[in-house]
Chain A
Amino acid sequence: MHGDNTELVRVRDLHFSRGTKHIFRGLSVDIPRGKITTILGPSGTGKTTLLKLIGGQLRGNQGTIHVDGLNVASLKRRELYQLRKRLGMLFQSGALLTDLSVFENIAFPLREHTDLPEKLISHLVLMRLHAVGLRGVRDLSPAELSGGMARRAALARALVFDPMMIMYDEPFTGQDPISMGILIELIKTVNKALGITSLMVSHDLAESLSISDYAVIISEGLVVEAGTPEQLRSSKSEWVQQFLQGKPDGPVPFQAAAPDYETELLGSLDRSGS
């Protein structure tokens, strides 16, 4: 089933809108196999939406998404589920099932999809828990975990089927420096030691660029710049520089699109006067 090219995910001319809002207008991105790729962009550009499109939870209005040579939008339900078993996704909140213990959360995909004996399930789960350093909290409920621990538990769950790719949705948002360091190490290990293609979406620049092989910056539904982290840092685009350096004003205006300030102030005076 492998495509003869090296990219695992190929997005071409993707259009997607929610209501009247155009989120993607002709997006084309390649995610290379075996690498860590980061998609960067301001909040609300549609990074989470893109992951859901790749996972087949949403359908684009136009354009194609191929994952491992399969056109996601044209898959039947069963084929899509088959594909999803080979993808892991780490949601921003962890998305652990709140009515199950940490152990049961990680065992969940195994219990749903296989008839493995209890002994083997326990073995597989403990291995994954050990890998993310959470063997000691297996009996806690997800609500008792810190945000960083919840993400690590979710990572263990995403790894339980040895997927070919893991998608991380903003893995570093709201983490203290120690959890951040642990997560960075884990993401690197998953990629380098297990050879799993990693696709990360983020707006935390420094952390994500430090571990990425390849990065893509998107804004307003299009790719602004793509390349290795070094190529991005030396980009001549003012927009990229503003984004990378976090300047408040520049090509991306500080003000959201609005009518002229002076006219609006004077206009409101007029109205209140009348």
Chain B
Amino acid sequence: MINYVAGVGRYWIDFLASVGRASLFLLNTLTALPSLFRRPALLVRQLHAIGVMTLSIVLVSGLFVGMVLALQGYNILIDFGQENRTGTLVALTLVRELGPVVTGLLFAGRAGSAITAEIGLMKATEQLSGLEMMAVDPFKRIFAPRFLAGFMAMPMLAAMFSAVGACGGYLLAVVALGVDSGAYWSLMQSAVNFIYDVGNGLVKGTVFGFVITWIAIYQGAESIPTSEGVSRATTRTVVYSSLAVLGLDFLLTAIMF
């Protein structure tokens, strides 16, 4: 019994200590951000590596998710004679929920894992120590550009996911199933509120981007510098950020809608 209590206590202490370390790490990364004003090239390179390289998987997924939503929505709505509202259903689902959430999961798998693996390998091959010994701050040179790039890319990717999804819905509902084209767009336009729906969706995307990139960079920097350590850190990044996305989505939805 005492062992059990001690075990629970140790678990909590370890947990709180790692939360503390991760927060301190975040603070150091945030204070390094202003240095990017003098070195915008570092940020541009990461925006390309993190944002642009994730674009293709996000667009393809968005297209298919939009088509599936349209198909399912159409099949239900037609029973009520409301198949004209397929566009509304597709757009609201995408902008409020699936856009940020699915993009977040894809982003964790595509960009988050890559960030962790890259930083973990830099640590394992002593490149991070090497930077320190050359009097170059890894927070400014390595962590800050990646963090800001992930934070900026995520909401944009989520928005593009939703936009492409709406077009996918159009392809299926209008072109394939014969819903009226004007009704599809105009009903969608009148039902989706820019601030309330699109704005809140963007807020979600931004929050997810912040958390995923934080987890990915931190896991890389804290990884055990061996091949096994880096592989475990990469797995942790994907698992933790996926769980964080789903948990935060529930929380944000409860607050927002």
The answer to the question of A239 belonging to the interface, with a C-beta cut-off of 8 Å to chain B, is no
Taking CB atoms, residues of chain B closer than 8 Å to A97 are 127, 130-131
The answer to the question of A22 belonging to the interface, with a C-beta cut-off of 8 Å to chain B, is no
- C-alpha spacing A87/B129, complex, angstroms: 13
- C-alpha spacing A87/B132, complex, angstroms: 11
Interface string of A69-96 (1 = CB under 8 A from B): 0000000000001101101110111011
Establish whether residues A57 and B134, one from each chain, have CB atoms under 8 Å apart when the complex forms. no
Interface string of A144-182 (1 = CB under 8 A from B): 000000000000010000000000000000000000000
Establish whether residues A57 and B135, one from each chain, have CB atoms under 8 Å apart when the complex forms. no
- C-alpha spacing A89/B131, complex, angstroms: 10
- C-alpha spacing A89/B134, complex, angstroms: 8
**Which residue, of B125, B129, B130, B131, has the highest number of chain A Cβ atoms within 10 A?**
B130
The range of chain B's interface size is: 10 to 19
The B128-187 residues at the A interface (CB cut-off 8 A) are 129-137, 141
Give which listed residue, A85, A95, A96, contacts B135 with CB less than 8 A: A85
- C-alpha spacing A88/B129, complex, angstroms: 12
Taking CB atoms, residues of chain B closer than 8 Å to A109 are 134-136
- Count of A-B residue pairs with CB < 8 Å: 49
The answer to the question of B14 belonging to the interface, with a C-beta cut-off of 8 Å to chain A, is no
Establish whether residues A84 and B127, one from each chain, have CB atoms under 8 Å apart when the complex forms. no
Taking CB atoms, residues of chain A closer than 8 Å to B125 are 93, 95, 98
Of chain B, the residue at the smallest CB distance from A82 is: B135
Establish whether residues B134 and A52, one from each chain, have CB atoms under 8 Å apart when the complex forms. no
Taking CB atoms, residues of chain B closer than 8 Å to A91 are 126, 129-130
Establish whether residues A52 and B135, one from each chain, have CB atoms under 8 Å apart when the complex forms. no
Establish whether residues B133 and A93, one from each chain, have CB atoms under 8 Å apart when the complex forms. no
Establish whether residues B130 and A112, one from each chain, have CB atoms under 8 Å apart when the complex forms. no
Taking CB atoms, residues of chain A closer than 8 Å to B127 are 95-98
CB distance from B21 to the nearest CB of A (A): 16
Taking CB atoms, residues of chain A closer than 8 Å to B122 are 98
- C-alpha spacing A98/B120, complex, angstroms: 13
Taking CB atoms, residues of chain B closer than 8 Å to A57 are 129, 132-133
Establish whether residues B132 and A113, one from each chain, have CB atoms under 8 Å apart when the complex forms. no
- C-alpha spacing A95/B122, complex, angstroms: 8
- C-alpha spacing A91/B132, complex, angstroms: 12
The A24-82 residues at the B interface (CB cut-off 8 A) are 52, 55, 57, 81-82
Establish whether residues B129 and A95, one from each chain, have CB atoms under 8 Å apart when the complex forms. yes
- C-alpha spacing A57/B141, complex, angstroms: 17
**Which residue, of B131, B132, B133, has the highest number of chain A Cβ atoms within 10 A?**
B133
Of chain A, the residue at the smallest CB distance from B140 is: A112
Taking CB atoms, residues of chain A closer than 8 Å to B141 are 112
Of chain A, the residue at the smallest CB distance from B141 is: A112
Establish whether residues B135 and A89, one from each chain, have CB atoms under 8 Å apart when the complex forms. no
Establish whether residues B133 and A89, one from each chain, have CB atoms under 8 Å apart when the complex forms. yes
Interface string of B101-140 (1 = CB under 8 A from A): 0000000000000000000001001110111111111000
Taking CB atoms, residues of chain B closer than 8 Å to A82 are 135
Of chain A, the residue at the smallest CB distance from B121 is: A98
- C-alpha spacing A97/B126, complex, angstroms: 9
Establish whether residues A84 and B129, one from each chain, have CB atoms under 8 Å apart when the complex forms. no
Give which listed residue, A55, A88, A92, contacts B126 with CB less than 8 A: A92
CB distance from A182 to the nearest CB of B (A): 21
Establish whether residues A55 and B136, one from each chain, have CB atoms under 8 Å apart when the complex forms. no
Taking CB atoms, residues of chain A closer than 8 Å to B131 are 97
Taking CB atoms, residues of chain A closer than 8 Å to B126 are 91-93, 95
- C-alpha spacing A74/B131, complex, angstroms: 21
CB distance from B154 to the nearest CB of A (A): 23
Establish whether residues A84 and B134, one from each chain, have CB atoms under 8 Å apart when the complex forms. yes
Interface string of B178-204 (1 = CB under 8 A from A): 000000000000000000000000000
CB distance from B227 to the nearest CB of A (A): 14
**Which residue, of B125, B134, B135, B141, has the highest number of chain A Cβ atoms within 10 A?**
B134
- C-alpha spacing A52/B126, complex, angstroms: 12
Residues of B whose CB lies within 8 Å of any CB of A are 122, 125-127, 129-137, 141
Residues of A whose CB lies within 8 Å of any CB of B are 52, 55, 57, 81-82, 84-85, 87-89, 91-93, 95-98, 108-109, 112-113, 157
Query: Can you list 15 A-B contacts with CB-CB less than 8 angstroms, sorted by A residue number?
Result: A52-B129, A55-B132, A57-B129, A84-B132, A84-B134, A85-B135, A87-B133, A93-B125, A96-B130, A97-B127, A97-B130, A108-B136, A109-B134, A109-B135, A112-B136
Q: A84-B135, A108-B136 are in contact. List 9 more A-B contacts (CB 8 A).
A: A85-B134, A89-B133, A93-B125, A96-B130, A97-B127, A97-B131, A109-B134, A112-B135, A113-B135
Q: Nearest 3 pairs between A and B by C-beta? A: A95-B130, A81-B135, A95-B126
